[in-house]
Structure 1
Amino acid sequence: MSATDSAVTAEEKKVRVCYIAGREESYSRTRMILHGLRRAGYDVVTCLPADRSFKHYPNLLWDFIRKQRGCDLVVVGFYGQILFPFVWLLTRKPILYDVYISTYDTMIHDRGKGGSGGFKAKLFWWSDAISMRLANRIILETVDHIRDYATKFRVPESKFFHIFLATDEKVVARRQQKESNGKFLVHFHGEYAPFHGVQYILKAAAALSDQNVRFQIIGRGITYERDMRLAQDLKLKNCTFIDWVPFEELSDYMARADCCLGIFGDNPRTLRVLTNKVIESIAAGKPLITAKNEPVQELLADSESALLVERGNPQAIAEAILKLRDDPELRKRVAEQGHLVFLKNCTLDTFAKQLNTVIEEMLN
């Protein structure tokens, strides 16, 4: 069944979905889920905040009370852990949960906000466990992630449904490469967070300071100040740092690049994530370098559709960059194979079709 067939099926049934989430409509995951639901043909009503602040939650729940009454199904999106118990109490409709990111993993394993056995850790763990146990079905982007969450939070594996991350191929698309002044341009975009490992990118840049390689690094985040101090200490002259850019402009920056970077952090969270930037890089038809982990290897193969390196290793990043720079045929092959993987697994049409499959299972 094609995505078009899915859309027709949904419209014939006139299925109405209420989508409530803790992040605003412009947030990448919110945007993706809404695109998927609408492309699958569902009539979607939303309860969304203006920004990420928790202060909006009371109004969100009041909005939900009014809007969910005429709906056939509820989708709780990211960030949903705090909202979920209230949503569950306020509706008798089946609930699909886009858990996306674990609070426990983020706060304990990535940001170090407490020991694994402390009070905060238990609070974060229960916020994940309760929300997942109350859900009728849960979507996650990799099988490895599903196995990890099922074990860690004691949730039946059968409750999960695997859907790879996706991006809008009309926005992040293959484009003719723009001039980069004769230098090999390396691109990174994303949050400055421990699991992204920006510090290792900066150390790789330092190792390549005399190799005619330039880096453009886009974003902000919790490690930004620390990483900027490192950049100063390393006296980097081959890096351009850019604040967040609108999603619609991302392709313009990626089109200038010769290759793109994924994630390289050395903490446990790096082992469990795929990330949007990986999908966006192969959507743009760029050769990708990223850390080797199980989730990435569910989608990409080393030296075929990406170059996979040891996490937390700036020398490995630098060597992979030089390998792509010095081998145009490898660069072309990895870019083309990566883009084919994207077209097969990560387009919005594919995402919508799979989303429709799990929703139809829930309603039937």
Structure 2
Amino acid sequence: MTIGFFGTYKLDYPRQRILRKGLQQHGVAVLDCHTREHGVRKWFALWRGSRGLRGRIDLLLVGFPGHTVMPLAWVIGKRLGVPVVFDAFTSQYQALVVARRQVRPLSFRAAYYFFLDWLSCRLARVVLMDTVAHADYLARITRVPRNRFAVVYVGCDLQDFSAVPVPPKAAEKFAVHFHGHYSPFQGADVIVRAAAKLADLPVRFTLIGRGQEYPRVAALAKELHLANVEFLDDVDYPTLRGYLERADLCLGVFGSGDRPVIPNKIFEAMAVGKPVLTARLPGMEELLTDRQEVVFCRANDPEDLAASIRRLFADAPLRNRLGEQARRLVAERLTPLTIGATLLSALRERGIANA
């Protein structure tokens, strides 16, 4: 079987990398019709690139983010006589309007993102989502039949990268790690407010990344005169593994918005056997169990987050058990090999015979 990956995706984005690895590990050949052009130029580049796919692929897989190129993919799929699978991965409306709050509800832009969700899912033979809750949500708002949606968890391939040495943690310090892009959903401000309540403990918070709310969060840390928080720029994947491996505890997401996802950062920490503390949000409990693979706390609640960190700081056996069980779950269900098998099974179940 040969799959044509189609779109404007980043080749090194974990979702693309894991799907590609997983498919190739199952003997599937992958061809790319890909551009990083923007605007109208991306349409022309993809149309030209699609000429090299004629007679060579069994299906076209539109990679994330692919909402804006789905109409073109649908036309090309018809021209090549192959089904189109859409890795929606997330709802544009839910992500930008509800979770990140970058777009006002009831605005023209909000209506545009809702239309993108609706149209792209309507045009696809199969729509891939990252959790059952997310698939349920998108099927409900688009009114696309639920059986057209397949759930393929994000998974993780961090275990395939060798760690780059990073500065060692300070002696006698309990290292708490966070990495992300500072959307409101991530709740980095909640982390900083929790850090202010833990000044009496030998705890050091490292927050890696930049993004939407970084200036506000950094200003908040300065306003609170925090000496137990450091901010670092984005790092590459091998360096990220180095920081994860030095951590005693890894943090997930803590903002409000009820976004039905399990973020990459949680799988990445689990893959290297680290205990994870995160807010309990829709989608999490499909795969994760409180006090088995992770510990849950309340969203948007610095008091509860600080109390949970205190308990984990004092309970090394629990931290060790969480890390061991998390690593086992990743090895059993969330490697590229198992993710690839899940995707191929979902395609077969939906009538794509060559999968």
Question: Which residue of 40, 47, 52 maps to 1:67?
Answer: 52
Match for 1:38: what amino acid? Q
| Kept after mapping to 1: 8 A contact 2:253/2:278 | yes
Select the residue among 148, 152, 162 that pairs with 2:151: 162
Partner SS for 2:120: helix
**Amino acid corresponding to residue 106 of structure 2 in structure 1:** G
* Contact persistence 1:266–1:311 (CA under 8 A): yes
Quote the RMSD (CA, aligned, Å).
2.2
Unaligned runs of at least 5 residues, structure 1: 1-14
SS at match of 1:185: strand
1:187 and 2:172 equivalent? no
For 1:46, the equivalent position in structure 2 comes to: 32
- Calculate the TM-score normalised by the size of structure 2: 0.92
Structure 2 residue aligned with 1:78: 64
Q: Partners in 1 of 2:44 and 2:251 — Cα distance?
A: 39
> What secondary structure, in the 3-state scheme, does the structure 2 residue paired with 1:363 have?
coil
Q: Percent identity?
A: 33
- Residue 211 of structure 1 deviates from its aligned partner by 0.9
- Quick check: 1:174–1:284 contact (8 Å CA) kept in 2? no
Q: Does 1:285 align with 2:273?
A: yes
1:244 aligns with 2:230: no
Q: Secondary structure at the match of 2:160?
A: coil
Structure 1 residues 54 and 218, CA, compared in 2 at 3 Å: closer, same or farther? farther
Indicate yes or no: 2:243 matched with 1:265: no
TM-score (norm 1): 0.89
Q: Which runs of 5+ in 2 are unaligned?
A: none
1:148 lines up with 2:134 in the alignment: no
Give deviations 1:96-153, integer Å, cap 9, x for gaps.
1110121111221123344433322221111011101110011112111111111111
Which residue does 2:92 correspond to in 1? 103
Question: Match for residue 333 of structure 2?
Answer: 345
Distance (whole Å) between structure 2 residues aligned to residue 174 and residue 161 of structure 1: 33
The alpha carbon displacement at 1:340 in A equals: 1.8
Selected match of 2:192 from 193, 202, 223: 202
Correspondence 1:3-152 to 2 at 5 A:
15-50=1-36, 53-54=38-39, 57-69=42-54, 70-92=56-78, 93-152=82-141
Residues 303-349 of structure 1, C-alpha deviation per residue, up to 9 Å, x if partnerless?
A: 12211010001111111111111011111111112222222221111
Please list, as runs of the form range in 1=range in 2, the aligned pairs for 1:295-314 lying within 5 A after superposition.
Answer: 295-314=283-302
Equivalent pairs, count: 347
Kindly state the Cα deviation for residue 301 of structure 1 after the two structures are TM-superposed: 0.9
Structure 2 vs 1, CA of residues 343 and 180 (structure 1 numbering), >3 Å: closer, same or farther?
farther
Distance 1:351 1:84, change over 3 A: same
SS in 1 for 2:200: coil
2:18 counterpart letter in structure 1: M
Q: Which position in structure 2 is the counterpart of 1:356?
A: 344
